[in-house]
Amino acid sequence: MSTRTGTRGLACGLAVLAAALAGCGEGGRTAGQAAPAASEAPPKAEAPRSGSGEIWAIDPQAGRDAASAAAALTAFAWGMQVVVIDGDSVYFGLKRAAARPGAGGARSVRLSDSLEATLTPAGEHVTLAFSNGQEVAMQRRRAPHVRGR
């Protein structure tokens, strides 16, 4: 049949690649089955107070190598492309997490049952390290000036 359809059939046959998605839960629960339930209350949204805390953002150049690219993507997936460190609290997106202190000024927050993020000062930077072994540098960012705020 490839002969009849010319290169199209051949290309399809050879281009077959596994979607090879990472594992998800067992027991028949899938992302596609559960519509967000109207009665299910989302967690409380907590934005950091304006001008409070230090703002750190993923190094814009992170991603030029595969290792930092993977870490930057993980950070983006969990809303940690920008974090605000305010005392013992770490804000990322609309979440506030109580950070667990560690050695060298490190602060750890749990993202899920299997993933934890640790922010560790490293000179002028902060290193964002995930418990899956990925890590990426973060840079300090000045609070934006918004007129009339």
Partner 1 sequence: MYTMKSLAALLSLLAPALAPAATVVEFDADHAALVYHKAASQHLDLRAAARTLQAYQFAPNFDKPEVLERLLGELEAEFEQVDPAQEFRIEITRDQVKEYDHERGEFSVGMFEQGSYVPFSAFGQHYMMVMANAEGSRAIRMPREEARALDETLRATGRQVRTEIHFRIIGSGDPAGAVQARRGSNQHVVRAEVLAARLLEPRSGRPLHTLAVVPVGQEPAATAAPARPAIPPLSAANAEIGGLRVGVPAATLKQLLESVYGPVQQRSAPQDTDPRIVAQLELDPLACRGLPGRQNHAGTVCVTALVDKDDVVRAIKVERLFPRIEFEALRTALVARYGATVSGEPGELAWGPVVEPRLLVRRPGEHALTATVIPVRSGTAGSAAQLHNVQLVLADAAWANGGR
Site for partner 1 in 10-49 (CB under 8 A): 10, 12-38, 40-43, 45, 47-49
Dihedral angle over CA of 12, 13, 14, 19, nearest 10: 80
Q: What residues contact residue 45 under an 8 Å CB cut-off, 6+ apart?
A: 94
Dmax (CA) for the chain in angstroms is: 69
Tokens 């629960």, located at residue: 29
Residue closer to partner 1, measured from CB, 19 or 104? 19
Torsion-angle region of residue 103: left (phi > 0), alpha (psi -120 to 50) or beta? beta
Stretch that binds partner 1, among 9-17, 98-106, 118-126 (CB under 8 A): 9-17
Residue pair 119/56 in contact by the 8 Å Cβ criterion? yes
CB of 76: closest distance to partner 1 in angstroms?
6
CB of 59: closest distance to partner 1 in angstroms?
7
47 secondary structure, DSSP code: P
- Asked if residue 89 binds partner 1 (CB under 8 A), the reply is no
For partner 1, the binding residues in 49-78 under the rule CB under 8 A are 49-51, 55, 57-64, 66, 69-70, 72-74, 76-78
- Asked if residue 131 binds partner 1 (CB under 8 A), the reply is no
Q: How many residues bind partner 1 (CB under 8 A)?
A: 83
Interface residue with partner 1 among 103, 104, 114, 124 (CB under 8 A) is: 114
Per-residue tokens: 25: 């839960």
